[in-house]
Amino acid sequence: MKNLFSILLAIALFSSCKTIKPNESLASVKSENSNPTVPSNNPIIKDKYTGDPAALVYKDKVYLYAGHDEAPNDFNFYKMNEWLVYSSSDMVNWQEHPVPLKVTDFAWAKSDAWAAQVIERNGKFYWYVTVSHGTINGKAIGVAVSDSPTGPFKDALGKALVTNDMTTHTKIDWDDIDPTVHIDDDGQAYLFWGNTVCHYAKLKENMIELDGPIQTINLPNFTEAPWIHKHKDWYYLSYAYEFPEKIAYAMSKSINGPWEYKGILNEIAGNSNTNHQSIIDFKGVPYFIYHNGSTQPNGGSFRRSVCVDRLYYNSDGTMKRVIMTSEGIQK
Ligand code: CA
pLDDT digits (tens, 9 = 90+) for 272-292: 999 999 999 999 999 999 999
Residue 13 has a pLDDT of 36
Average pLDDT over residues 230-251: 98
Residue 32 has a pLDDT of 43
Which of these, 328, 307, 295, lies nearest to 48 by C-alpha position?
Answer: 295
Average pLDDT over residues 141-162: 98
Ligand 1 centroid – CA 65 distance (Å): 25
Ligand 1 centroid – CA 172 distance (Å): 7
Ligand 1 centroid – CA 139 distance (Å): 8
Residue 74 has a pLDDT of 72
Which of these, 306, 215, 229, lies nearest to 265 by C-alpha position?
Answer: 229
Average pLDDT over residues 201-221: 98
Q: What is the CA radius of gyration of the chain?
A: 22
Average pLDDT over residues 98-119: 98
Instruction: Provide the residues around ligand 1 (an ion) whose CB is within 5 A.
Output: 164, 167, 175-176
Ligand 1 centroid – CA 165 distance (Å): 5
Q: How many residues would you count in the chain?
A: 331
Residue 188 has a pLDDT of 98
Ligand 1 centroid – CA 198 distance (Å): 11
Residue 297 has a pLDDT of 64
Average pLDDT over residues 36-52: 92
Ligand 1 centroid – CA 215 distance (Å): 12
Give the angle 75-240-46 at the CA atoms, nearest 5°.
50
Q: Are 249 and 239 in contact (CB under 8 A)?
A: yes
Ligand 1 centroid – CA 174 distance (Å): 7
Ligand 1 centroid – CA 137 distance (Å): 9
Q: 174's torsion region: left (phi>0), alpha (psi -120 to 50) or beta?
A: alpha
Ligand 1 centroid – CA 192 distance (Å): 13
Calculate the CA dihedral of residues 189, 193, 197, 201 and round it to 10 degrees.
-20
24-38, 55-69, 203-217, 248-262: least confident range? 24-38
Q: What is the mean pLDDT of the chain?
A: 90
